[in-house]
């Protein structure tokens, strides 16, 4: 099944969920050609926002990615409040719901390092390219180091006075 990130983003943004796109999709929004297989967002951990996140995601059957089938898992407000980061599989594709991210902290910590994205009718926040590079460095995985080279090239191209 091909991931349907646009549908998840639409559901979150149209419902007023406070979230920031990070990870591979953020890279794509900044011009990266790398393929990504999940959508990563950092969400505000307020009671109201958690309630909204659960309400929005529940129809897409969120389940812990990699967990054995049949493992008792209830995606509800209590679970999200008591947890922090959730790697989920949904009917629309893999989705990482992050209360905090390595090297970036929480939603409020990241908010000053975001841009507003307007894609069609969608409106949401995305980390800046500079911050995304920092987050990839902090994650420290081989795939992140590979992505950094491309993201750094995009950043340098944008800084070129001849770039339009």
Q: How far apart are CA 92 and CA 159, in angstroms?
A: 36
pLDDT at residue 1 in the model? 46
Closest by CA to 37, choosing from 117, 136, 121, 143, is 143
Q: What is the pLDDT of residues 12-53, one digit of tens each?
A: 999 999 999 999 999 999 999 998 999 999 999 999 999 999
* Contact yes or no for 103/137 (Cβ under 8 A): yes
Q: How far apart are CA 98 and CA 106, in angstroms?
A: 8
Between helix 129-139 and helix 142-159 the angle, nearest 10°, is: 160
Q: What is the pLDDT of residues 83-127, one digit of tens each?
A: 999 999 999 999 999 999 999 999 999 999 999 999 888 899 999
Q: State the pTM of this model.
A: 0.93
Ordered by where they begin, the domains of the chain are 5-159 (3.30.460.40)
Q: Hey, which bits of the chain come out as E strands?
A: 19-22, 38-43, 63-64, 85-90, 93-98, 100-101, 105-106, 114-119, 122-127
Q: What is the pLDDT of residues 134-153, one digit of tens each?
A: 999 998 888 888 899 999 99
């Amino acid at each position: 099944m091909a991931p349907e990130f646009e549908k998840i983003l639409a559901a979150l943004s149209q419902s007023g969920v406070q979230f920031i796109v990070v990870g591979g999709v953020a890279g794509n929004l900044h011009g990266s050609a790398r393929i990504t297989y999940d959508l990563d967002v950092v969400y505000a951990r307020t009671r109201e926002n958690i309630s909204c996140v659960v309400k929005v995601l529940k129809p897409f059957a969120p389940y812990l990615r990699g967990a054995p089938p049949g493992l008792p898992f209830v995606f509800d407000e209590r679970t999200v409040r008591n947890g922090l980061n959730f790697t989920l599989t949904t009917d629309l594709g893999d989705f990482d719901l992050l209360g905090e991210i390595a090297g970036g902290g929480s939603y409020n910590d990241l908010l000053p390092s975001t841009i507003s994205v307007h894609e069609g009718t969608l409106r949401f926040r995305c980390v800046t390219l500079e911050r995304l590079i920092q987050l990839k460095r902090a994650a420290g995985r081989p795939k992140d180091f590979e992505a950094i080279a491309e993201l750094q090239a995009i950043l340098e191209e944008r800084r070129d006075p001849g770039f339009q």
